[in-house]
Protein backbone atom coordinates (compact mmCIF):
# COMPACT_ATOMS: atom_id res chain seq x y z
CA UNK A 1 0.00 0.00 0.00
CA UNK A 2 2.92 2.30 0.69
CA UNK A 3 4.03 1.87 -2.90
CA UNK A 4 0.59 2.82 -4.20
CA UNK A 5 0.51 5.84 -1.91
CA UNK A 6 3.90 6.98 -3.21
CA UNK A 7 2.76 6.45 -6.82
CA UNK A 8 -0.34 8.53 -6.13
CA UNK A 9 1.82 11.31 -4.68
CA UNK A 10 4.05 11.28 -7.80
CA UNK A 11 1.07 11.42 -10.18
CA UNK A 12 -0.50 14.28 -8.26
CA UNK A 13 2.81 16.16 -8.40
CA UNK A 14 3.08 15.70 -12.20
CA UNK A 15 -0.55 16.81 -12.69
CA UNK A 16 0.21 19.87 -10.63
CA UNK A 17 3.25 20.66 -12.85
CA UNK A 18 1.28 20.08 -16.08
CA UNK A 19 -1.44 22.50 -14.97
CA UNK A 20 1.12 25.18 -14.11
CA UNK A 21 0.55 28.29 -16.33
CA UNK A 22 4.27 29.15 -16.25
CA UNK A 23 5.17 26.71 -19.05
CA UNK A 24 3.83 26.45 -22.59
CA UNK A 25 5.01 23.70 -24.89
CA UNK A 26 6.17 24.52 -28.46
CA UNK A 27 6.47 28.29 -28.01
CA UNK A 28 9.34 30.73 -27.51
CA UNK A 29 8.92 33.40 -24.93
CA UNK A 30 10.84 36.70 -25.06
CA UNK A 31 10.88 39.59 -22.71
CA UNK A 32 8.63 42.44 -23.80
CA UNK A 33 10.51 45.27 -25.58
CA UNK A 34 9.21 48.81 -25.29
CA UNK A 35 8.86 50.73 -28.59
CA UNK A 36 10.13 53.79 -26.77
CA UNK A 37 13.49 52.08 -26.28
CA UNK A 38 14.06 51.09 -29.93
CA UNK A 39 12.56 54.18 -31.59
CA UNK A 40 15.63 56.42 -31.04
CA UNK A 41 17.92 53.77 -32.55
CA UNK A 42 15.65 53.46 -35.61
CA UNK A 43 15.58 57.22 -36.11
CA UNK A 44 19.38 57.44 -35.84
CA UNK A 45 19.78 54.66 -38.42
CA UNK A 46 17.43 56.44 -40.83
CA UNK A 47 19.29 59.74 -40.37
CA UNK A 48 22.70 58.14 -40.96
CA UNK A 49 21.46 56.37 -44.11
CA UNK A 50 20.01 59.62 -45.50
CA UNK A 51 23.27 61.47 -44.80
CA UNK A 52 25.34 58.82 -46.60
CA UNK A 53 23.06 59.01 -49.66
CA UNK A 54 23.21 62.83 -49.69
CA UNK A 55 27.02 62.95 -49.41
CA UNK A 56 27.38 60.37 -52.18
CA UNK A 57 25.09 62.41 -54.44
CA UNK A 58 26.94 65.67 -53.81
CA UNK A 59 30.33 64.10 -54.51
CA UNK A 60 29.24 62.49 -57.78
CA UNK A 61 30.13 64.93 -60.54
CA UNK A 62 27.48 65.40 -63.18
CA UNK A 63 28.24 64.09 -66.64
CA UNK A 64 29.26 66.91 -68.98
CA UNK A 65 27.44 65.32 -71.91
CA UNK A 66 24.39 63.07 -72.16
CA UNK A 67 25.18 59.35 -72.47
CA UNK A 68 23.30 59.21 -75.75
CA UNK A 69 25.75 61.68 -77.30
CA UNK A 70 28.95 60.40 -75.70
CA UNK A 71 28.30 56.91 -77.02
CA UNK A 72 28.12 58.23 -80.60
CA UNK A 73 31.42 60.13 -80.56
CA UNK A 74 34.56 58.42 -81.82
CA UNK A 75 36.83 61.01 -80.19
CA UNK A 76 37.31 62.60 -76.77
CA UNK A 77 35.71 66.07 -77.09
CA UNK A 78 36.83 69.35 -75.58
CA UNK A 79 34.26 70.50 -73.03
CA UNK A 80 33.81 73.18 -70.39
CA UNK A 81 34.33 71.63 -66.96
CA UNK A 82 34.29 73.04 -63.46
CA UNK A 83 33.47 76.56 -62.35
CA UNK A 84 34.49 78.52 -65.44
CA UNK A 85 33.28 81.91 -66.55
CA UNK A 86 31.75 80.26 -69.62
CA UNK A 87 28.17 79.05 -69.29
CA UNK A 88 27.07 76.16 -71.49
CA UNK A 89 23.51 76.00 -72.80
CA UNK A 90 22.76 72.38 -71.90
CA UNK A 91 19.66 72.29 -74.11
CA UNK A 92 21.78 73.12 -77.17
CA UNK A 93 24.11 70.11 -76.87
CA UNK A 94 23.53 67.88 -79.88
CA UNK A 95 25.18 65.31 -82.10
CA UNK A 96 25.73 66.15 -85.76
CA UNK A 97 25.29 63.09 -87.93
CA UNK A 98 26.71 64.92 -90.97
CA UNK A 99 29.98 65.82 -89.26
CA UNK A 100 29.86 62.90 -86.85
CA UNK A 101 30.65 65.51 -84.25
CA UNK A 102 29.48 67.58 -81.31
CA UNK A 103 27.82 71.01 -81.37
CA UNK A 104 26.77 73.24 -78.45
CA UNK A 105 26.25 76.91 -77.59
CA UNK A 106 27.79 78.82 -74.70
CA UNK A 107 28.28 82.38 -73.53
CA UNK A 108 30.40 84.51 -71.21
CA UNK A 109 30.22 88.01 -69.79
CA UNK A 110 32.09 90.43 -72.02
CA UNK A 111 32.65 87.69 -74.61
CA UNK A 112 29.16 87.20 -75.98
CA UNK A 113 27.75 84.11 -77.62
CA UNK A 114 29.91 81.19 -78.78
CA UNK A 115 29.05 78.24 -81.00
CA UNK A 116 31.33 75.23 -80.52
CA UNK A 117 31.60 72.44 -83.06
CA UNK A 118 34.13 69.63 -83.05
CA UNK A 119 34.81 66.34 -84.73
CA UNK A 120 37.52 63.74 -85.03
CA UNK A 121 40.57 65.16 -86.78
CA UNK A 122 40.66 63.88 -90.39
CA UNK A 123 43.42 61.29 -90.91
CA UNK A 124 44.78 63.26 -93.89
CA UNK A 125 45.69 66.14 -91.58
CA UNK A 126 48.16 63.87 -89.78
CA UNK A 127 49.46 62.40 -93.00
CA UNK A 128 49.82 65.80 -94.68
CA UNK A 129 49.93 68.84 -92.34
CA UNK A 130 49.77 71.13 -95.37
CA UNK A 131 46.12 70.15 -95.82
CA UNK A 132 45.27 71.52 -92.39
CA UNK A 133 47.18 74.68 -93.21
CA UNK A 134 45.21 75.02 -96.43
CA UNK A 135 41.95 74.74 -94.49
CA UNK A 136 43.01 77.54 -92.13
CA UNK A 137 44.05 79.77 -95.03
CA UNK A 138 40.73 79.15 -96.81
CA UNK A 139 38.97 80.46 -93.70
CA UNK A 140 40.97 83.73 -93.96
CA UNK A 141 43.49 83.43 -91.18
CA UNK A 142 43.87 86.60 -89.12
CA UNK A 143 46.32 85.63 -86.41
CA UNK A 144 48.00 82.74 -84.62
CA UNK A 145 48.07 82.30 -80.86
CA UNK A 146 50.71 79.98 -79.48
CA UNK A 147 49.30 77.53 -76.97
CA UNK A 148 49.60 73.95 -75.81
CA UNK A 149 48.90 71.35 -77.12
CA UNK A 150 48.52 73.19 -80.46
CA UNK A 151 48.37 76.71 -81.90
CA UNK A 152 45.06 78.54 -82.06
CA UNK A 153 44.27 80.10 -85.44
CA UNK A 154 41.86 83.04 -85.48
CA UNK A 155 39.97 83.27 -88.77
CA UNK A 156 37.08 85.14 -90.38
CA UNK A 157 35.37 82.96 -93.00
CA UNK A 158 33.43 84.52 -95.87
CA UNK A 159 30.13 83.09 -94.65
CA UNK A 160 30.55 84.59 -91.17
CA UNK A 161 28.96 88.05 -91.18
CA UNK A 162 30.17 88.99 -87.69
CA UNK A 163 32.67 87.77 -85.16
CA UNK A 164 35.49 85.31 -85.70
CA UNK A 165 36.21 81.59 -85.66
CA UNK A 166 39.01 79.98 -83.68
CA UNK A 167 40.39 76.76 -85.13
CA UNK A 168 42.41 74.16 -83.22
CA UNK A 169 43.63 70.76 -84.42
CA UNK A 170 45.00 68.82 -81.45
CA UNK A 171 44.99 65.39 -79.80
CA UNK A 172 42.81 63.87 -82.48
CA UNK A 173 40.15 66.61 -82.40
CA UNK A 174 39.34 69.36 -84.90
CA UNK A 175 37.74 72.17 -82.89
CA UNK A 176 35.93 75.29 -84.15
CA UNK A 177 34.68 78.05 -81.84
CA UNK A 178 32.64 80.78 -83.52
CA UNK A 179 32.22 84.08 -81.65
CA UNK A 180 29.39 86.57 -82.12
CA UNK A 181 31.83 89.51 -81.91
CA UNK A 182 35.48 90.17 -82.56
CA UNK A 183 37.71 89.15 -79.65
CA UNK A 184 41.26 90.08 -78.76
CA UNK A 185 43.96 87.42 -78.58
CA UNK A 186 43.82 87.70 -74.80
CA UNK A 187 40.08 87.05 -74.78
CA UNK A 188 40.54 84.05 -77.05
CA UNK A 189 43.15 82.68 -74.65
CA UNK A 190 40.66 83.09 -71.83
CA UNK A 191 38.00 81.24 -73.82
CA UNK A 192 40.25 78.33 -74.79
CA UNK A 193 41.65 78.01 -71.26
CA UNK A 194 38.14 77.04 -70.11
CA UNK A 195 38.12 73.97 -72.33
CA UNK A 196 39.71 70.64 -71.49
CA UNK A 197 39.53 67.26 -73.13
CA UNK A 198 36.96 64.94 -71.62
CA UNK A 199 38.36 61.98 -69.73
CA UNK A 200 35.91 59.20 -68.86
CA UNK A 201 35.89 58.36 -65.14
CA UNK A 202 37.87 55.31 -64.09
CA UNK A 203 35.33 52.50 -63.45
CA UNK A 204 37.56 51.18 -60.66
CA UNK A 205 37.24 54.46 -58.77
CA UNK A 206 41.01 55.06 -58.69
**Which residue has better confidence, 20 or 53?**
53
Burial of 117 by CB count in 10 Å (0-12 exposed, 13-18 middle, 19+ buried)?
A: middle
> What pLDDT is recorded for position 147?
86
Q: Give 182's pLDDT tier (boundaries 50, 70, 90).
A: very high
Dihedral of alpha carbons 13, 15, 16, 20, sign = positive
Highest mean pLDDT, choosing among 3-12, 38-47, 49-58, 109-118:
109-118
% of the chain with per-residue pLDDT over 90: 43
Q: Could you tell me which of 61, 55, 69, 65 has the C-alpha nearest to residue 88?
A: 65
CATH fold, domain 75-197, is: Protein Transport Mog1p; Chain A (3.40.1000)
More confident residue, 8 or 121: 121
Domain residue ranges of the chain, discontinuous segments joined by +: 75-197
As a whole number of angstroms, the distance between CA 147 and CA 169 comes to: 12
Least confident of 45-59, 145-159, 168-182: 45-59
Could you tell me which residue, 90 or 164, shows the higher pLDDT? 164
**Helices marked H in the chain:** 2-18, 35-58, 67-70, 123-127, 129-138, 185-192
Residue 206 has pLDDT above 60, yes or no: no
pLDDT the model gives residue 38: 63
Full 3-state SS string of 141-170? EEEEECCCCCCEEEECCCCCCCCCEEEEEE
pLDDT of residue 54: 55
Mean pLDDT of the chain: 78
- Residue 65 pLDDT: 77
Q: How confident is the model at residue 7 (pLDDT cuts 50, 70, 90)?
A: very low
Amino acid sequence: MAGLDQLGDVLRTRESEDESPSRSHGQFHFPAVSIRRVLPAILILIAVTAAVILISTLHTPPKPLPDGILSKLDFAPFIVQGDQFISVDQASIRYSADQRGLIFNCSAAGIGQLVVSEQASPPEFAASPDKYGALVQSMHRLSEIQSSPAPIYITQPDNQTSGQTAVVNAVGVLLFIQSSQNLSDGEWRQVLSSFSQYQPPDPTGY
